[in-house]
Chain A
Amino acid sequence: MSGFTAPTIDWGALSPVVIVLGAAIIGVLVEAFVPARARRNAQLALSLLATIGALVAVVLLWPGVEESGGTTVLGGSVLVDGPTLVLWGSIALFAVISLLIIADRTETGEDAFAPNAAAVPGSDYEDVARRKGIHQTEIYPLVLFATGGMLVFPAAGDLLTLFVALEVLSLPLYLLAGMARRRRLLSQEASMKYFLLGAFASALFLFGIALIYGYSGSLRYADIATATGTPSGMESVLLVGSVLILAGLLFKVGAVPFHTWTPDVYQGAPTPITGFMGACTKIAAFGALLRIVYTVFPDLQWDLAAILWTVAILTMVVGTVGALVQSDMKRVLGYSSIAHSGFILTGIIALNQAGITAVLFYLLVYGAATVGAFGIVWLVRERTRQSADGSPGPILGEATHLSQWAGLGRTNPLLALTFALFLLSFAGIPLTAGFIGKFGVFSAAVDGGAWPLALIGVLASSAAAFFYVRIIVLMFFTGSASADGEPTGTDVYVPAGDVSAPISAGDGAVAVETVVETEARSTITTTVVKTEGLAVAAIAICALLTIVMGIAPSPVIEAIQGVASFLP
């Protein structure tokens, strides 16, 4: 007993994490003790309070860290330095915005989640739950746990903390991915895939940790960094271990060849969750990757450069060309996120001070556009047209087929314009934040001597602009196929004859692998659903961020620059 001395813990520096995880635990208690009717509001208030609290805590921590350069907490297990704060701020910000979309409900009181995720799709039990208007309010603590994991992930100071954080952030996401209200089999399939592949990646990651520990005798980043600088006869163990660790992280960011899950999970998960996951997971994972590449393996950069370059180039190319042939909006955005991972990797490979700033800024920019874009996808719905009197029927799931978006610019100009803004930001068109972000990472790459990467990045960006602009053209310049001039409906669903994705839609009716859609859906139109307004507010915030950071990025960039250095 006497051999153990409790470490002094700087709770203040940890406060964002403590607030979020604490609120998550309280959320579990709320599930148990608050009456069902009040539960949703209580959970929403708690979650928003926690995430906004984390954001405030980050702001309060900022001046101290800016001055001192950061502190190590928990005996070096968590590093609270400048990049950590930027990443915490970004994650907390997008968690707040995502929560708004997650919590939003349509006029009929439906949110994006299955009333009872445990029920077998299509069963009577599910019908009963739906009719009773049950809400699966466990969503909120799950999101908070995931957010907590994401906060720890880039701040971790040793490999074990990193692994625990990885699991804490991943497990809730696996669950959340499977809870879509519509197309439940698609959602569950996505969840299953994400879980299996995630477990596989975790295993590789853990194996890598073991090898590194075997080589260096420590899990601390600082000790490993020292050990890698000291020559020994065991370099191959170190190298294989580092590749395995990188593989685990690259899986999370969706880099080729560890990207295969991305389109399927992006498509299957409930759309608000896709936005949350797309933005926050990417921020957390790139934060961790950035820290490891910059502080743990700097001595290995010549050995690892080849694979990082290969991965970056493949990621940019596969993400771009993959997106070109997609016909589903969520899959397009999924591939686009892969391509963006490639662009961010070029900034990481730069291995210079500018690279840190550029990557952190890029993540912020990308997060804003991603959350906003998926928010809009969630609002654009299918609706049956009842044949008897022609009046619009009930609203169904998201209208994700590209052809269903034709003419949206005419029926909902403001929404389409905002979506176009996000797409232009993805494409990196000047006056949007995306341009500044891309410019930052590419110029950092050129400064760091990686100009071929920047060149490929620019080429890939211009090719990628094609499919973003194609969607804009579709929305604004293509007439919708329905000729009857119905004001709300816009499009006749034309099923693509060669849908090769094995996962099929079908609202819980039939869902078998590799089912090609044959059902004639000509009675389905596209509409923009009316909601309680939370999602619209969230989209507006994202649009504002995208415009402001595109037109006047310097305050943000300067703020990041002021703190962009890692603790050793």
Chain B
Amino acid sequence: MHTLTALVASLPSDTIGPATETVETGTLLVAPLLVGIPLLSAALLLVLGRRTDRWGHWLGVLASSAAFVIGAVVFVNMLGRSEGSRVLDVDLGNWIDAGAFHLNAGVRLDPLSLTFVLLVTFVGSLIHIYAVAYMEHDADRRRFFAYLNLFIAAMLTLVLANSYLLLFFGWEGVGLASYLLIGFWNYRLDYAVAAKKAFVANRIGDLGLIIAMGLMFATFGSVSFDTVLGGVTESTSQATLNGIALMLLLAACGKSAQFPLQSWLGDAMAGPTPVSALIHAATMVTAGVYLIVRSAPLFNAAPDAQLVVVCVGAVTLVFGAIVGCAKDDIKKALAASTMSQIGYMILAAGLGPVGYAFAIFHLVTHGFFKAGMFLGAGSVMHGMDDQVNMRLFGGLGRYMKITYITFGAGWLAIIGFPFFSGFYSKDHIIESAFVPVEGAPWRAWFFGSVAMLAAGITAFYMSRLFFMTFEGEKRWTNKADGSHQHPHEAPKLMTWPMIVLAVGSVGLGAFLNAGNKFVDWLAPVLGHPEHEEPVMPVPVIMGLTLALVAVGILIAWRRYVASRVPVVPPVGTSLTRAARVDLYQDTVNDVLLVEPGQALTRSLVYVDRTAIDGTVSSVGRVTVGLGEIARRFQTGYVRSYAASMLLGLVVLVIVVLVIQI
């Protein structure tokens, strides 16, 4: 009896959702259109080409908004269901039937996927609208919208898939869209290189997902969520589970720019700013978090892998924060902050059942405030002739009131200013990090302190960014054409999305936190985590965090408002210099991977040329030589033809007679 209770207690039964229902009829059958409409729109825009230049961007906006409306309909329908019947599948029929491998394609509708659907389509639609104005003078605006729609379709495939293979389709799709959009202005070599870098780094992660799927098939005989996640039992080998979980983590690292595959995200800012806001801040880069949370039963059963997840999250969290302190390019500073914030989410996801819901919570609020700040940065660039160096900004708050206020809302949200969105979501993560883990008391203290400290650093670098851009004296230089800068507010199509996102940055956290609404909403998928007490009382944690945040703001105020900001970056300490070049990550990658890789390819090419081609060409030469001999017999004279026939015949006759004797 005792062993049975222990077994039940150790099983992650509370995180396995109720058995999946299959939807046969009703409103929910519209769900596949979520993917279909943006995909169709993308196809139309790409196939019809220049003919759609005049109205193509509005078609893109319409497709994205339509997806949002469908998402909202499904959401309302879902709210009308009891908690026990909120995990649904819409079956799309047999997809793959090859030997032992059977897979049905299907749409998974549950609170987790719907959270993403709403986030992606809502923020996505706002950014579509913003981009109509932002990309107005670009000759290829239609193509841009085609790619954005392609991204929306792929991202929704990713989150709505009911199997890892279908998820992988979306996973590759968003990777493709990301590649196309980072390199949208690929006539600039460094932009094209940035796109390639993102693609290669993502491929490494994708390989992890492929290997994970292979292991799943070998272990569970399928790659559908139901079979794999429902099939994790006590008897499943620990090593296999750790292997699968680590490979999934590798995939997450690639997609979510986590250590050690984080190097691509900063360069990805080469893409147009709406892309940075949508793909490289709000949605695609959080796919790794989704993957881990979706695979919760797997990770719960693999504690060693979970520890690695937490470590990766913590390292990236600090790494991104340090890099963010030193960047002068406004978009790259925001990118470093994205990396760091996703580090928070990954850390929370690694904590297990206590952290999953908060990881998603932070993901949603972050989606709002970070997208809002990116759009704000785009608005600043719009007003400042595409200048991105913050040392050449200053005092812009007086000239761009709406941008100033909306950006300010995002700033306060990300640093966790009380009662703004980020305050709730981040605080929960820090508290969860302080929850003691059985058998390893150091973990709570260590990861809790790291998370808390990083909150202080975040406050410093985000304040630095905000102050350097909007406060202080003007440090503007002339435009590229020599005229003076005339910063101005962006058109309404750009400001309204920023305003809406700012409202979310302010109020969304409080709204979702009230009455534990968000955690309860996710419960059908993630279960109700038992409330566990952190090693320190919660008010102490909160107080310490807020104190650190205040210190961070204060230091930033003294250095970037109270004193002059040098236009030429000072030499700085060795840490600053290292942070400016992303803590030497590119150098490390070059030495460890790129150069050995290139040496390998060069030697392979050499072997190919000499050994393989050499063999082939000598075979060819010998053959041609034989052919030349054959051709010499082909004299063209009938008499020699007849003679050769006769000779051949005689030989054949002799052969036959000799054999017969």
A residues adjacent to B (C-beta < 8 A): 192-193, 196-197, 200-201, 204, 235-236, 239-240, 243-244, 247, 251, 256-258, 260-261, 263-264, 303-304, 306-307, 310-311, 317-318, 320-325, 463, 466, 500-503, 513-514
| B84 located at the interface, meaning its Cβ lies under 8 Å from any Cβ of chain A in the complex | no
CB pair A235–B660 under 8 Å, yes or no, is yes
Partner of B653, one of A243, A325, A502, A513: A243
B622 shortest CB reach to chain A, Å: 9
CB pair B627–A324 under 8 Å, yes or no, is yes
Contact flag A193-B638 (CB < 8 Å), given A318-B630, A325-B631: yes
CA distance A236 to B658 in the complex (A): 10
Instruction: Give 11 A-B contacts (CB < 8 Å), ordered by A residue.
Output: A192-B638, A243-B656, A260-B641, A303-B656, A310-B652, A322-B631, A322-B634, A324-B620, A325-B630, A325-B631, A513-B637
CA distance A363 to B627 in the complex (A): 26
Flag B622-661 by CB within 8 Å of A: 1 or 0 each.
Answer: 0110111011111111100110110111011101110110
Chain B residues contacting A310 (CB-CB under 8 Å) are 652, 655
Within 8 A of A (CB), among B541-572: none
CA distance A311 to B636 in the complex (A): 22
CB pair A503–B636 under 8 Å, yes or no, is yes
**B628, B637, B648, B660 interface centre (most CB from chain A within 10 Å):** B648
CB pair A502–B631 under 8 Å, yes or no, is no
Partner of A240, one of B632, B634, B656: B656
CB-nearest residue of chain A to B645: A258
CB-nearest residue of chain A to B628: A325
CB pair A247–B660 under 8 Å, yes or no, is no
Given contacts A320-B623, A322-B630, 7 further A-B contacts (CB under 8 A): A197-B638, A200-B642, A200-B645, A239-B653, A240-B653, A303-B656, A503-B636
Contact flag A196-B638 (CB < 8 Å), given A260-B645, A500-B631: yes
CB pair B645–A197 under 8 Å, yes or no, is yes
CB pair B641–A321 under 8 Å, yes or no, is no
Partner of A463, one of B623, B633, B648: B623
CB pair B645–A251 under 8 Å, yes or no, is yes
Partner of A197, one of B624, B635, B641, B651: B641
Give 8 closest A-B pairs by Cβ, nearest first.
Answer: A257-B648, A502-B636, A325-B627, A260-B641, A321-B627, A321-B626, A324-B627, A307-B652
Contact flag A513-B636 (CB < 8 Å), given A304-B656, A310-B655: yes
CA distance A311 to B624 in the complex (A): 21
Contact flag A261-B652 (CB < 8 Å), given A235-B660, A239-B660, A466-B620: no
CB pair B636–A325 under 8 Å, yes or no, is no
CB pair A306–B659 under 8 Å, yes or no, is yes
Chain A residues contacting B645 (CB-CB under 8 Å) are 197, 200-201, 247, 251, 257-258, 260
A185 shortest CB reach to chain B, Å: 13
CB pair A257–B647 under 8 Å, yes or no, is yes
A326 shortest CB reach to chain B, Å: 8
Chain B residues contacting A243 (CB-CB under 8 Å) are 649, 652-653, 656
Question: What's the tally of chain B residues with a CB closer than 8 Å to chain A?
Answer: 31
Partner of A325, one of B619, B624, B633, B644: B624
Main secondary structure of the interface of B (DSSP, over half): helix
Chain A residues contacting B652 (CB-CB under 8 Å) are 243, 247, 307, 310-311
Chain A residues contacting B619 (CB-CB under 8 Å) are 463
B410 shortest CB reach to chain A, Å: 54
Partner of B644, one of A247, A260, A263, A500: A260
A241 shortest CB reach to chain B, Å: 10
Chain B residues contacting A466 (CB-CB under 8 Å) are 620
A196 shortest CB reach to chain B, Å: 5
CA distance A247 to B644 in the complex (A): 13
CB pair A514–B656 under 8 Å, yes or no, is no
CB pair B660–A324 under 8 Å, yes or no, is no
Chain A residues contacting B627 (CB-CB under 8 Å) are 321-325
Chain A residues contacting B641 (CB-CB under 8 Å) are 193, 197, 260-261
Chain B residues contacting A239 (CB-CB under 8 Å) are 653, 656-657, 660
Chain A residues contacting B657 (CB-CB under 8 Å) are 236, 239-240
B629 shortest CB reach to chain A, Å: 8
CA distance A446 to B612 in the complex (A): 29
Flag B285-306 by CB within 8 Å of A: 1 or 0 each.
Answer: 0000000000000000000000
Chain B residues contacting A236 (CB-CB under 8 Å) are 657, 660
Chain A residues contacting B660 (CB-CB under 8 Å) are 235-236, 239, 303
CA distance A236 to B623 in the complex (A): 38
CA distance A323 to B652 in the complex (A): 25
Chain A residues contacting B647 (CB-CB under 8 Å) are 257
CA distance A193 to B657 in the complex (A): 31
CA distance A304 to B649 in the complex (A): 13
Chain A residues contacting B632 (CB-CB under 8 Å) are 500
A511 shortest CB reach to chain B, Å: 12
A457 shortest CB reach to chain B, Å: 16
CB-nearest residue of chain A to B626: A321
B261 shortest CB reach to chain A, Å: 38
Chain B residues contacting A303 (CB-CB under 8 Å) are 656, 659-660
Chain B residues contacting A263 (CB-CB under 8 Å) are 634
Chain A residues contacting B634 (CB-CB under 8 Å) are 260, 263-264, 322, 501
CA distance A166 to B256 in the complex (A): 77
**B624, B641, B647 interface centre (most CB from chain A within 10 Å):** B641
A485 shortest CB reach to chain B, Å: 26
CA distance A256 to B656 in the complex (A): 17
B440 shortest CB reach to chain A, Å: 57
**B619, B626, B652, B653 interface centre (most CB from chain A within 10 Å):** B652
Chain B residues contacting A240 (CB-CB under 8 Å) are 653, 656-657
CA distance A323 to B630 in the complex (A): 10
A328 shortest CB reach to chain B, Å: 12
CB pair A307–B655 under 8 Å, yes or no, is yes
B455 shortest CB reach to chain A, Å: 60
CA distance A19 to B375 in the complex (A): 83
CA distance A261 to B633 in the complex (A): 12
CB-nearest residue of chain A to B643: A260
B642 shortest CB reach to chain A, Å: 5
CA distance A84 to B628 in the complex (A): 40
CB pair A324–B624 under 8 Å, yes or no, is yes
Contact flag A502-B635 (CB < 8 Å), given A261-B641, A463-B623: yes
CB-nearest residue of chain A to B631: A325
CB-nearest residue of chain B to A325: B627
Partner of B649, one of A247, A320, A500: A247
Chain A residues contacting B659 (CB-CB under 8 Å) are 303, 306
CB pair A306–B648 under 8 Å, yes or no, is no
CB-nearest residue of chain B to A514: B636
A260 shortest CB reach to chain B, Å: 4
CA distance A318 to B631 in the complex (A): 10
Chain B residues contacting A264 (CB-CB under 8 Å) are 634, 636
Chain B residues contacting A320 (CB-CB under 8 Å) are 623
Chain B residues contacting A258 (CB-CB under 8 Å) are 645, 648-649
B350 shortest CB reach to chain A, Å: 48
A229 shortest CB reach to chain B, Å: 16
